[in-house]
Amino acid sequence: MHEMTVAELSAALAAGRISSEELTRAFLERIERLDPGLNSFITVTAEGALEQARAADRRRARGEGGPLTGVPVAHKDIFCTLGVRTSCGSRMLDNFVAPYESAVTERLAGAGMVTLGKTNMDEFAMGSSSETSHYGPVRNPWNPDTVPGGSSGGSASALAARLAPAATGTDTGGSIRQPAALCGVCGLKPTYGRVSRYGMIAFASSLDQGGPMARSAEDLALLLQAMAGFDPRDSTSVEEPVPDYAGELDAGVEGLRIGLPREYFAEGLDAGVARAVEEAVAQFRRLGAEVREIGLPNTRLAVPAYYVIAPAECSSNLSRYDGVRFGHRCADPTDIDDLYKRSRGEGFGAEVKRRILVGTYALSAGYYDAYYRKAQQVRRLIRDDFRRAFGEVDLIVGPTSPSTAFRLGERLDDPVTMYLSDIYTIAVNLAGLPALSIPCGFVDGLPVGLHVIGDYFREGRLLAAAHRYQRETDWHRRAPAGFGG
Amino acid sequence: MSDWEVVIGLEIHAQLATRSKIFSGASTAYGAAPNTQACAVDLGLPGVLPVLNAEAVRMAVKFGLAVEAQIAPRSVFARKNYFYPDLPKGYQISQYELPVVAHGHLNIDLEDGGTKRVGITRAHLEEDAGKSLHEDYHGMTGIDLNRAGVPLLEIVSEPDLRSAREAVAYAKKIHALVRYLEICDGNMQEGSFRCDVNVSLRPRGASGYGTRTETKNLNSFRFLERAVLYEVERQREVLESGGRVVQETRLYDSARNETRSMRGKEEAHDYRYFPDPDLLPLEIDAGFVESVRATLPELPDAKRLRFEDQYGLSPYDASVLTATRELADYYEAAAAACGGEGKLAANWVMGELAGALNKAGLDITASPVSAERLAGLLRRIADGTISGKIAKQVFEAMWEGGEEADRVIEARGLRQITDTAAIETIIDRVLADNPTQLEQYRAGKDKLFGFFVGQVMKACQGKANPAQVNELLKRKLAG
């Protein structure tokens, strides 16, 4: 049962072959048995899950509900969930029980999905390894000595270990796609504004985007269908009709023009990863796609621009954690400054502090023009690169991450190397484009992710290409030893 | 004092009269129990997002049009970052580089009868912070976030004002304007209209500016005037004793009538302004501007000119009667209902009525005598039924008893006596009763005429027509 995709589970539920309650019990049992070695969950909501499962079963019995009704899901602990702790992986919010529900979790609950719990993550989504969590590091089921990637590493790890058939993630600079790649699962970052950010704890507001994670492109389509859509509570959400993603899934890739940015196949890319990606490209060619080389000349500016803009926004977004109204408050403050300093000093971890400091500096009087304004100009150049490219091609393909999963602790004290592991994903966030990562091979037993980038609001085309590829390959069906059938 | 020129600029925060907050749906009503009007957005909970209130934008545009300013087709909300316990998000959403309203102006009246054009640099939308409560918390601080997120329009003037009186005239004019526009209730006690004033001195004739201080949170026109006077005097003393004015923020203490340093330039915050990524740039098209323009009421200056023209009022009377929209409406209703006796209506509204309201501490909208009732009284003056003097008695009765003028006049028998024979009878009796005075008058003591008039009026309880009394008395006295 745990090997089945969302689409398969949905069919089984619809046919009455299994009940949501059985399914939910099975996943809860796996979580209890297997997660202690992975640490992919921060909170497991077993009781609530069983209640929701029974409600879903009743709904199905009445002939109501949709394809997702009764299917379990794990939510990244960045989405506010009414009455359930929402920690964002931080000591600061260890005591925070949200008094309201995020748009994403509300929509998926409305579709009848059953919430298994809240997944572990880098603190406030700041990291690429899921090691900066207050609740300890998450491990990669393919090799527990390696990281699952981040920041949505808990969701990716849980999917790979078959602890949940579906999950949510958020992606500010690659936080859905990079862990999906490192854990051998699928993840989609939608167009900025496609999915409401309401109730999603902000890291960098102009870059953050929630999206689905699962084990097939078809599942991503089912999940995105429920998540996407305009939300008047988020001023940056876009009033653009949501297409029928499942209906577009079989569009194939024949005649599609695929661009390979020469800058993505350059220095720093692991040779094994490059081979796997090239083989996937060859597969697309065999399926009728036309492949050509393109240029994204400002690629090298993406990481520096990102590491000005994201920290600048985060330095302001995280000011609300001051110990006054909610979250961690230091013991016995002597005055207001002491309250601020110790509450924030104790509540935030090192990586979060590093980014607040960098962002505060970048926005300071006298530095704003040199850093923040300049970074925004670079951002426009990067967006223009993609605009030009999408004049020539329909999809852009490359590696999701320059390497496979790295060892726990290896890059913790080397932030720049850590930051560079997001080199291919970051530009997509700066431009606000949709992109996904799907498994395309292995290097030394660790999964490799294929990165497919599309034009604005062309998630349907992305999913169709990935689905076509997955009909020919079985990389996405492979399970890590000890977690499979 | 004559060696120095005073340079003043004002920053006025007008609370916009929207029903809900600028970025959330919580109510803006004043006076609720602490923190009962603060929703998740106002509390700055993790994950919440601001959504702009279109009504606040409409009001800002209305103001911009009223001061003939430019309405920015694209303006940007920015975050002003600083830590304060009553600032829930750790930043205030405001506008910085691109405000919604820029380059407007307003004419104020000067004491010499002239007018002065005061530049309005900009007006921008922003959210208010909450309130810190220091009393009754035993060394701790209470936080009330009901006010957090209430919409404000910050109106910044050019440094065009040259005296405390000009500053007050400008502030009053803005106050009247925002109330005319119905975008702000103008209640200064409740903090709906607050002024910060920038003051500096420079040698008369100099073109540059001296170092300025900013005095904050002046919640009455009187405090504004006093704070400026104090600050001018203080700076003059500093400069004349060879010192330098320090650029700083000061606070006016009304109990001591002085300004005190709050924070110096070196302690000034670096607010790290940057565009708020949670809000799209505010785009306003010409159609929206025109739709707002169509809702503009007649503005105070236009109304004043019309009053002068239509009712034959002096510029002073017209300006007093147009000071607030409510007073102007009252006056016009009264003038219309009394048959166009504009001057008479003006005298009564500004005289007897204003005096009574003032004494009772009432606003024109709470007047016990309605415009229609007052007009009823004025009609009886105009048609000679009662004299002006009797009218005051009638008015008092109307004020106290809430009755119509005609009813009071009838019930108390106050109708004016215009019957010549009746008046002659009274005059004859008065002359008969005062033979000594009559003799003196006839011997050439003209001044006694007034005495006889008084006696006649007294005898008829003031009801005789004064002009008739004069004429008949003169004839009789002549013998």
Q: What is the Cα–Cα distance from A456 to B41, expressed in whole angstroms?
A: 30
Residues B307-333: tens digit of each pLDDT: 999 999 999 999 999 988 999 999 999
Residue A76 is a catalytic residue: yes
Residue carrying the six token digits 């957005």: B41
If you ran DSSP here, which 8-state letter would residue A57 be given? Answer: H
pLDDT interval class at B408 (50, 70, 90): confident
Contact A76, A102 (CB under 8 A): no
Q: Name the average pLDDT for chain A.
A: 97
For the ranges A339-353, B224-238, B385-399, the lowest mean pLDDT is seen at B385-399
Residues A366-393: tens digit of each pLDDT: 999 999 999 999 999 999 999 999 999 9
Contact A104, A133 (CB under 8 A): no
* Structural domain containing residue A105: 6-253+436-477
Does B52 sit within 8 Å of A201, measured CB to CB? no
Does B50 sit within 8 Å of A368, measured CB to CB? no
Contact A219, A6 (CB under 8 A): yes
Residue A216 is a catalytic residue: no
Q: What is the Cα–Cα distance from A53 to A23, expressed in whole angstroms?
A: 8
Is a pLDDT exceeding 90 seen at residue A82?
yes
Q: Is A341 on the interface with B (CB under 8 A)?
A: no
Residue A175 is a catalytic residue: yes
Bridge partners of B115? B109
Q: Is A357 on the interface with B (CB under 8 A)?
A: no
Residue A175 burial by Cβ neighbours in a 10 Å radius (0-12, 13-18, 19+): buried
Residues B86-138: tens digit of each pLDDT: 999 999 999 999 999 999 999 998 888 889 999 999 999 999 999 988 877 88
Six-digit token string for B58 = 């409409």
Contacts A340 to B, Cβ<8 Å: 83
Structure confidence at residue B267 (pLDDT): 65
CA distance B44 to chain A (A): 7
Structure confidence at residue B265 (pLDDT): 62
Number of domains in chain A: 1
The torsion region of residue A90 among left (phi > 0), alpha (psi -120 to 50) and beta comes to beta
Is a pLDDT exceeding 90 seen at residue B385?
no
What would the mean pLDDT of B398-411 be, rounded to a whole number?
A: 88
Give Cα separations from B91 to A315, B279, B445 (angstroms).
11, 14, 84
CATH number of B420-477: 1.10.10.410
pLDDT interval class at A226 (50, 70, 90): very high
For the ranges A100-104, A149-153, B415-419, the lowest mean pLDDT is seen at B415-419
Q: Name the average pLDDT for chain B.
A: 92
**Is residue A422 in a domain?**
no
Q: Higher-confidence residue: B1 or A160?
A: A160
What would the mean pLDDT of B8-17 be, rounded to a whole number?
A: 98
**What are the residue boundaries of the structural domains of chain B, listed by start?**
4-292, 300-411, 420-477
Residues B173-205: tens digit of each pLDDT: 999 999 999 999 999 999 999 999 999 999 999
- Inter-chain CB pairs, A–B, below 8 Å: 102
Query: Where are the alpha helices (H) located in A318-458, listed in sequence order?
Result: 336-347, 350-363, 374-392, 415-420, 423-431
Query: Residue by residue, what is the 3-state secondary structure of A128-139?
Result: CCCCCCCCCCCC
Cis peptide before A151 (omega within 30 of 0): yes
User: What's the pTM value of the predicted model, to 2 decimals?
Assistant: 0.91
What would the mean pLDDT of A97-118 be, rounded to a whole number?
A: 98
Does A365 sit within 8 Å of B270, measured CB to CB? yes
Helix (H) or strand (E) holding A398, with range, is strand A395-399
B396: which residues sit within 8 A by CB, 6+ positions away? none
Contacts A364 to B, Cβ<8 Å: 270, 272
What would the mean pLDDT of A6-19 be, rounded to a whole number?
A: 97
If you ran DSSP here, which 8-state letter would residue A145 be given? Answer: T
Does B46 sit within 8 Å of A86, measured CB to CB? yes
Give Cα separations from A178 to A182, A259, A262, A467, A481 (angstroms).
6, 20, 20, 19, 21
pLDDT interval class at B1 (50, 70, 90): very low
Which residue is closest to B144 within chain A, CA to CA? A325
Structure confidence at residue A144 (pLDDT): 97
**Is residue A350 in a domain?**
no
**Is residue A355 in a domain?**
no
Does A235 sit within 8 Å of B44, measured CB to CB? no
The CATH number assigned to the domain holding A40 equals 3.90.1300.10
**Is residue A319 in a domain?**
no
Contact B256, B287 (CB under 8 A): no
Query: Where are the alpha helices (H) located in B312-353, listed in sequence order?
Result: 315-321, 325-337, 342-348
Six-digit token string for B362 = 């009432």
Is a pLDDT exceeding 80 seen at residue B416?
no
Packing angle of the helix pair B325-337, B300-311 (nearest 10 deg): 20
Q: What is the Cα–Cα distance from A345 to A129, expressed in whole angstroms?
A: 22
Is a pLDDT exceeding 60 seen at residue B2?
no
Measure CA of the first residue to CA of the last residue in chain B; give whole Å.
67
Residues A43-77: tens digit of each pLDDT: 999 999 999 999 999 999 999 999 999 999 999 99
Q: Higher-confidence residue: B409 or B419?
A: B409
**Is residue A145 in a domain?**
yes
**Is residue A24 in a domain?**
yes
Six-digit token string for B290 = 């025109």
Which of A151, A157, A343, A401 is catalytic? The answer is A151
Structure confidence at residue B266 (pLDDT): 61
Does B51 sit within 8 Å of A360, measured CB to CB? no
Residues A293-310: tens digit of each pLDDT: 999 999 999 999 999 999
**Is residue A419 in a domain?**
no
Is a pLDDT exceeding 80 seen at residue B268?
no
